[in-house]
Amino acid sequence: MKNLTIYLFLIMAFTCLNLRAQEIAILKYQGGGDWYANPTALPNLIKFCNDNIGTTIQNKPETVEVGSSTIFQYPYLHMTGHGNVVFSDEEIENLKSYLMSGGFLHIDDNYGMKPYITREIKKLFPNKNLEELGADHPIFNNSYSFAKGLPKIHEHDGQRPQAFAILQDNRILLLFTSESDLGDGWEDPTVHNDAPEVRQKALEMGANIITYAFKN
pLDDT digits (tens, 9 = 90+) for 42-77: 999 999 999 999 999 999 999 999 999 999 999 999
Count of the separate structural domains present in the chain: 1
Residue 20: HSE in the Cβ half-sphere, 13 Å Cα cutoff: 20
Q: What is the CATH number of the domain that holds 38?
A: 3.40.50.12140
> Does the reported pTM lie above 0.85?
yes
User: Which helix (DSSP H) or strand (DSSP E) does residue 97 occupy?
Assistant: helix 89-100
Q: Quick one: average pLDDT of 122-126?
A: 97
Tell me which residue range forms the domain holding 177.
Answer: 2-215
Rg (CA), the chain: 16
Tell me which residue of 175, 154, 141 sits closest to 112, measured CA to CA.
154
